[in-house]
Amino acid sequence: MSSQTPLAADNVPVQPPKNRRGFLLRALGAVVVLGAIGWGLWYFLEGRWYEETDDAYVSGNVVQITPQVPGSVITIGADDGDLVHAGDVLVKLDPADADVALAQAKANLASTVRKVRGLYSNVSGAQADVAARKVAVEKAQADYDRRRDLAKSGAISAEELSHVQEALTSAQNALLAAQQSFQTNKVLVDDTVVTSHPDVQAAAAKLRAAFLDDVRTSIVAPVDGYIAKRSVQLGQRVAPGTPLMAVVPLHEVWVDANFKETQLNSMRIGQPVEIHADVYGGKVTYQGKVESLGVGTGSAFSLLPAQNATGNWIKIVQRVPVRVFFTDPKQLEEHPLRIGLSTKVEVNLRDQSGPLLAKQAPSQPAFNTDVYKQQLAKADGLIAEIIHANMAGEAQSKQ
């Protein structure tokens, strides 16, 4: 048998089939090269200006509601999930003891005002007594001078002159005692009026404290928000500081995004951020900005920080919390978020003019409430009313 290439009928050699495998490999290599070039162009033109992480969660204030005075719960005004506004009564305690203490404080203030008015009256009386004693001394002095001249001429006896001298000395001593009494009474009210007298101020402070204790039997919401973690029950005896429930203001939430330390090189405060929440998927895009970069890694502030000075140390890329605030409140109203939800955060790094750390202290409080100022204003109004009522007699006497 011959091993030569067989010939066709016309003695032309048969061509072998083309190698398609080599062509496919070359095509695949070309695609990979083009893909690498495309990715490189995308990274240098666009991709390197963004950092993202899905290790990000919604955070916010969880305002604990705790009593300031002890008492037994008689009313619960809201339950989990309910919307409440600042000033709404959430829990009411039995006010019986506080009412009694308030009544005693009112009576004490009224009595103190009247006693202080008496001090001013004592000063006026002592001053009048001093004036009367001065007249008596002047009269006794004139009588003594006249009798002394008569005694020189022998018109009266020495015994009579001695009696007159004793009367003058007695009048002078009485004047001295009256002046001392006047000074003693004057010191008690010197440079004051009834409302600014220390005794009245002390009684007013006791009334203010009793009034606040009475008002605080109604525990109010300090902010607008939604009720969470209600644990209080009717009839429960609570002490100051006992957690009863929480109010969560969902309109003031933010995102804590944990970026790798290698992602923070170009990150600055104020850079724009796009946020996607897992609850809405990619349908909703929130706009935000970098509010602050964490001052330490999560492990550094953990309860048991890692001890890296050991022989079996392994380097682990650390993560730093970055706080992101929402810039459009309407987005939160249309698509509300809840504490703890997972999000994906993408930071635009193009604008690097912002600082790495805050450069100035806050000029205003980050959060505040004024619901408790009203309580003190009402207490001051009650004090002024009681003082005025117990000063009415003095006003009438001056007319």
Average pLDDT, the chain: 84
User: In which residue are the tokens 């004047």 written?
Assistant: 175
Lowest mean pLDDT among 3-17, 176-190, 385-399: 3-17
Terminal CA-to-CA distance of the chain, rounded, Å? 152
Q: Binning pLDDT at 50, 70 and 90, where does residue 243 land?
A: very high
Q: Is 2 exposed, middle or buried (0-12, 13-18, 19+ CB in 10 A)?
A: exposed
pLDDT at residue 19 is higher than 70: no
Alpha-helical regions (H) of 282-364? 329-334
Rounded CA separation 355/57 (Å): 24
Instruction: Show the domains of the chain with their CATH numbers.
Output: 63-94+217-248 (2.40.50.100), 107-208+374-398 (no CATH), 253-299+316-356 (2.40.30.170)
Highest mean pLDDT among 5-14, 101-110, 152-161, 300-309: 101-110
Span 121-133, pLDDT tens digits: 777 777 777 788 7
Predicted local distance difference test score (pLDDT) of residue 34: 80
CA-wise closest residue to 316 among 264, 266, 262:
262
> Could you please report the per-residue DSSP string of 63-98?
EEE--SS-EEEEEE---TT-EE-TT-EEEEE--HHH
pLDDT of residue 15: 56
Measured CA to CA, the distance from residue 209 to residue 213 in angstroms comes to 6
User: Which H or E element spans position 291?
Assistant: strand 286-293
Rg value, the chain, Cα: 45
pLDDT band of residue 6 (cuts 50, 70, 90) is low
Percent of the chain with pLDDT over 70: 87
H/E/C letters for each residue in 14-30? CCCCCCHHHHHHHHHHH
pTM, full prediction: 0.73
